[in-house]
Structures are given as structure tokens and as C-alpha cells.
Copies of this chain bind each other. A is one copy, B any other.
Amino acid sequence: MSGLTIWTYDWVPEGPRGFVRDLRLRWACEEACLGYAVRTIPFDGRATNHLAQQPFGQVPFLNDGGVDIFESGAGLLHLARKSENLMPRDPVGEAHTLQWTIAALNSIEMVTVPWWFLNMRGDGDNALSPWLSQRLDHLERVLSQQEWLAAGRFTVADLLMADVLRVSTVRAFGNRPATEAYVARATDRPSFRKAHADQIAHFEAADH
């Protein structure tokens, strides 16, 4: 036992199933062959109930023995330090994995999530669309030249970027074949499939 515990909700509606971010940590643990337990906090009252554990009232958070850590991106980098499966150990490979992990969070997701937020409100062609288009075009250019983002191999940066990109509304925003193939390549990995199936089963079990 590695002593890792991933915390998520006890239940969510059908819409977000398969997309709750505990999936990122499950997937990382599967790739790294790290054992983990899953524990839950109540979905009801989430806005105020667990602020002591997560100051923004969100999931997931990770417990690793004496260490509690929130923010899925931070949990991923914490896990990446434990396994070369997630991040190479040479200085250049490690730096490039780090930069693309941060790029997924701060150059791509910083645009995709607010854009999606406006889109869900019915404003599909919103003020953030040109920005999103430009960022996704830059990424398409990179992905048309290489299979993975860093170090010539799958890393935690790909895990995160693919999770950011696989939201269907974002994928529907323009035809970008290299990006589409990249998302398919990443989500076809056995570790993603297991993590995804486990999350779906976790929330389905709570329906009964």
C-alpha cells in the first residue's frame, strides 16, 4: 500500500460523470502503478461543507500519509515526483514536463473553462472565442509535429492536457485533426479507461 487516498464526492448528477477531476488523480495512479483508496465527501452542501479541507469547496484532494494536497494539478505534480512513468528524471525532460503541465492549466484551461462556462449559458460564440481559437491553433501546430508534449513520451503533462481537451464542447470548437488524434491516443490508454470506468461505477453505485 502506498497510503494514497483520493477524495471525491459521494455522488454527482449524470452530466459531470466521467469528468470530475478525481479522474486525473486516478489516471495518474494507474499509470504509476500506485495503489490508492477512494474516499468521499457529500455532494450536497459542497459549497460550504468542506471548506476546511479545500478552500474553494472543490474536489479532488489527495492524502499521502501525512500530506494533504488540493488542486488536481498540484496532486498530479506531487504524484509525478513518485514515478518516472509520469515524469522523466533528467533535468530537460523534467522541466519540459513541468512547463507543459502548467501550460495545460494556465494557457489552455484558463481559456477553455471560462469559454465553456459562457457557452453553457447559451452564448456559444462569445467574447472569449477568438482567444480560445488562437490557443487551440497554437496547440494544434505543436501536436501536428509531435506525438506527445514533452520528452518524446507520454508524461503527466499529456494526462492533464488530454483531460482538459476532451470536453466535447471544446472539441467541437473547430476541426483540429492533430489535437483530436492526440486526445484519442491519450484516452485510449488502459490506465485512462480503467480510471474512467471506475469513476462512472463509483457514481452509479451511489444511485442505488
Binding site for B on A (CB under 8 A): 51, 55-58, 64, 66-71, 73-74, 77-78, 91-92, 95-96, 98-99, 101-103, 105-107, 109-111, 113-115, 117-118, 121, 123, 127-128, 131, 135, 138-139, 141-142
A106: chain B residues within 8 A (beta carbon): 71, 73, 105-106, 109-110
Decide if B91 touches A66 in the complex (CB within 8 Å): yes
The docked-state distance in angstroms from the alpha carbon of A60 to that of B117 is: 28
Q: Give the Cβ gap from A89 to chain B, nearest Cβ, in Å.
A: 13
Are A107 and B71 interface neighbours, CB within 8 A? yes
Name the contact of A56 in the complex, choosing from B51, B56, B107, B113 (C-beta under 8 A): B107
User: Looking at the complex, which one of B91, B102, B118 makes contact with A71 (CB distance below 8 Å)?
Assistant: B102
Contact A128 B138 (CB under 8 A): no
Partner of A98, one of B56, B69, B107, B115: B69
